[in-house]
């Protein structure tokens, strides 16, 4: 990966350039309500290949950006842009240059949590969509907010603040107004965004997979989610830093971000038909500038100490059931991670398609990594790994991510629920506790549809034999309902809880555990967002 080494730009959050990277070329015209063909570029009102109209006005001229290391930090925060004009008012000849950008750090915090990005491979994640006109976006890396409050992870839509509403910054209000305006047109915004991006910057096409699937909007979705939560600085920053680090493996460079920003604003300008105006544009410019600067800085810092990806050779492939394989990899250089985390994996058979899998063992002295992979219907990567991969094959791994790790500062007991292949990170957690030598009680509930689906029960029972503090409870559907089976044991209210498995299991498990009195900040699990979107 090339480093974002250009140093000519300013901070992007300091407002030194009157609004970050975006400098509108001309005064906005009639915005998205302008009819195709009436734009400033006659004869160029359709995007080749997609048939989509070009944006009705030119959005922004972009300049290169620098890295965090190369820029002085702003001495003082610039004020947030005032809301100068209600959306309903007619447009004026107000200056189009964006006002100075407020540093993200200065935004008042909101209580609403940022949901994580998708983690696991699911059928929908690999649904073949041959007819799709544009490529899949690089999947954003999952963020790792700490701790993962259970209620923060399960809401299917951006949640309302659980506590009294925190002040909303003017930019956040404008951003949310735009998002509300887009409403049901999100799919069109996505298509238009990618059409714009690849028409204007065909060189970026190679960063995306050849085939497009239903996850093509991951990049845009991540950006919109981040923008919506721009006020929630602590969580957002961690989310974006993870996203920036994770994007190194796609070949993303700092110079790509302005191109994405242009396409984003172009798509928003077209579909936020009733609210897009100078103020909205300025707010989005500042917001996107802040977002992308955090990502760029995190990538630049990460570049100093970690590769963009690791090569890893398959050293063993154990088919445990007709559709589940336990795969062991040897990375080409040390791969540091924590038990409970996950990585992204790309196979040679589906270039640039990355899927997430949890480490199925704690870090080992020999450096080998193991994964449990279930081939799911239409799952390109999972089917390749289960049915095609063999020892000697080489895959690529992205950086580790995730915060479902053991808190070794307490000696609370651990209550672990692993459903199906979700047992993989639970096994890693058990090994982690064992290695720390603590005598903490650990109860593992291992749920499966049938006895046959308890493909790793022998391993878990061997661990139980070795460790007196470990109890393993296999739960097969039918006899007892999983995860309600935990209610028959306990008490659990002084335990830390860890859940891993299908999203429905996590949702009902979180509910059950909260009803038992375990506070949300002691219930940890990985993201549900993508699976929620898939309608699980």
Ligand X SMILES: NC(=O)C1=CN([C@@H]2O[C@H](COP(=O)(O)OP(=O)(O)OC[C@H]3O[C@@H](n4cnc5c(N)ncnc54)[C@H](O)[C@@H]3O)[C@@H](O)[C@H]2O)C=CC1
Structure tokens given for 354: 């990355």
- Asked whether position 156 contacts ligand X by CB under 6 A, the answer is no
Contact 96, 508 (CB under 8 A): no
Binds ligand X by CB under 6 A, chosen from 341, 370, 500, 527:
500
Structure tokens given for 452: 């046959």
Tell the smallest beta-carbon distance from residue 472 to ligand X (Å): 14
Nearer to ligand X, 114 or 423 (CB): 423
End-to-end CA distance of the chain, in Å? 36
Question: Please, what sign has the CA dihedral across residues 62, 64, 68, 70?
Answer: negative
DSSP string, 211-276: S-BTTTTHHHHHHHHHHHTTT-HHHHHHHHHHHHHHGGGGT--TTHHHHHHHHHHHHHHHH-TTT-
Binds ligand X by CB under 6 A, chosen from 11, 508, 523, 530:
508
- Asked whether position 424 contacts ligand X by CB under 6 A, the answer is yes
- Asked whether position 448 contacts ligand X by CB under 6 A, the answer is yes
Smallest CA-to-CA distance from 437 within 467, 415, 407, 414 is with 467
CB under 8 Å to 100, separation ≥6 — which residues?
14, 15, 16, 18, 19, 78, 79, 81
Binds ligand X by CB under 6 A, chosen from 177, 218, 372, 473:
372
Contact 333, 306 (CB under 8 A): no
- Asked whether position 447 contacts ligand X by CB under 6 A, the answer is yes
Smallest CA-to-CA distance from 253 within 192, 295, 193, 202 is with 295
- Asked whether position 501 contacts ligand X by CB under 6 A, the answer is yes
Contact 382, 356 (CB under 8 A): no
Largest Cα–Cα distance of the chain, in whole Å?
Answer: 77
Binds ligand X by CB under 6 A, chosen from 167, 348, 504, 517:
504
- Asked whether position 425 contacts ligand X by CB under 6 A, the answer is yes
Binds ligand X by CB under 6 A, chosen from 118, 143, 363, 502:
502
- Asked whether position 57 contacts ligand X by CB under 6 A, the answer is no
Tell the smallest beta-carbon distance from residue 143 to ligand X (Å): 16
Tell the smallest beta-carbon distance from residue 6 to ligand X (Å): 38
Nearer to ligand X, 193 or 482 (CB): 482
Which range in 132-140, 313-321, 383-391, 494-502 contacts ligand X by CB under 6 A? 494-502
| Binding characters for ligand X, 349-368, by CB under 6 A (x = yes) | --------xx----------
Which range in 69-77, 154-162, 176-184, 503-511 contacts ligand X by CB under 6 A? 503-511
Tell the smallest beta-carbon distance from residue 25 to ligand X (Å): 45
Alpha carbons 431 and 425: distance in angstroms, whole number: 10
The residue ranges that bind ligand X (CB under 6 A) are 120, 122, 357-358, 372, 374, 419-422, 424-425, 447-449, 453, 477, 482-483, 500-502, 504-505, 508
């Amino acid at each position: 990966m090339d480093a974002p080494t250009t140093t000519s730009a300013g901070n992007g959050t300091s407002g030194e350039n009157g609004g970050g990277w975006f400098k509108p070329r001309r005064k906005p015209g009639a915005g998205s309500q302008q009819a195709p063909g009436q734009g400033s570029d006659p004869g160029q009102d359709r995007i080749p290949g997609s048939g989509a109209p070009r944006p009705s006005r030119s959005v922004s001229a972009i300049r290169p950006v620098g890295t965090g290391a190369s820029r002085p930090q702003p001495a003082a925060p610039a004020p947030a842009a005032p809301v100068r004009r209600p959306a309903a008012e007619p447009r004026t000849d107000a200056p189009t240059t964006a006002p100075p950008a407020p540093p993200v750090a200065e935004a008042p915090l909101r209580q609403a949590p940022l949901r994580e990005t998708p983690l696991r491979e699911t059928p929908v994640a690999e649904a073949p969509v041959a007819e799709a006109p544009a490529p899949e976006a690089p999947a954003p890396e999952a963020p790792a907010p700490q701790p993962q409050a259970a209620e923060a992870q399960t809401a299917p839509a951006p949640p309302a603040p659980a506590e009294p509403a925190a002040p909303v910054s003017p930019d956040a209000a404008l951003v949310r107004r735009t998002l509300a305006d887009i409403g049901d047109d999100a799919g069109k915004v996505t298509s238009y965004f990618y059409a714009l991006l690849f028409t204007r910057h065909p060189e970026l096409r190679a960063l995306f997979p050849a085939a497009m699937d239903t996850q093509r909007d991951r990049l845009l979705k991540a950006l919109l989610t981040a923008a919506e939560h721009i006020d929630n600085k602590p969580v957002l920053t961690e989310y974006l830093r993870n996203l920036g680090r994770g994007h190194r493996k796609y070949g993303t460079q700092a110079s790509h971000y302005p191109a994405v920003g242009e396409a984003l604003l172009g798509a928003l300008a077209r579909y936020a038909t009733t609210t897009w105006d100078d103020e909205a544009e300025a707010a989005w410019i500042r917001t996107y500038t802040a977002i992308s600067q955090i990502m760029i800085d995190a990538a630049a810092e990460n570049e100093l100490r970690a590769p963009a990806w690791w090569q890893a050779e398959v050293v063993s492939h154990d088919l445990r059931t007709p559709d589940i394989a336990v795969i062991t990899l040897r990375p080409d250089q040390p791969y540091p991670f924590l038990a409970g985390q996950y990585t992204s994996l790309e196979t040679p058979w589906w270039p640039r398609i990355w899927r997430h899998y949890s480490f199925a063992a704690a870090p080992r002295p020999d450096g080998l990594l193991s994964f449990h992979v279930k081939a799911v219907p239409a799952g390109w990567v999972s089917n390749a790994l289960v049915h095609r991969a063999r020892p000697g094959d080489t895959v690529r791994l992205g950086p580790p991510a995730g915060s479902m790790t053991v808190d070794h500062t307490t000696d609370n007991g651990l209550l672990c629920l692993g459903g199906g292949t979700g047992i993989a990170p639970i096994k890693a957690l058990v090994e982690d506790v064992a290695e720390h030598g603590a005598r903490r009680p650990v109860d593992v509930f291992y749920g499966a549809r049938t006895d046959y689906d308890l493909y790793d029960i022998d391993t878990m029972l061997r661990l139980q034999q070795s460790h007196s503090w470990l109890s393993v409870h296999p739960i097969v559907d039918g006899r007892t309902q999983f995860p309600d089976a935990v209610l028959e044991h306990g008490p659990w209210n002084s335990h830390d809880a860890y859940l891993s498995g299908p999203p429905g299991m996590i949702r009902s498990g979180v509910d059950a555990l909260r009803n038992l009195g375990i506070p949300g900040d002691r219930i940890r699990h990985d993201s549900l967002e993508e699976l929620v979107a898939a309608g699980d």
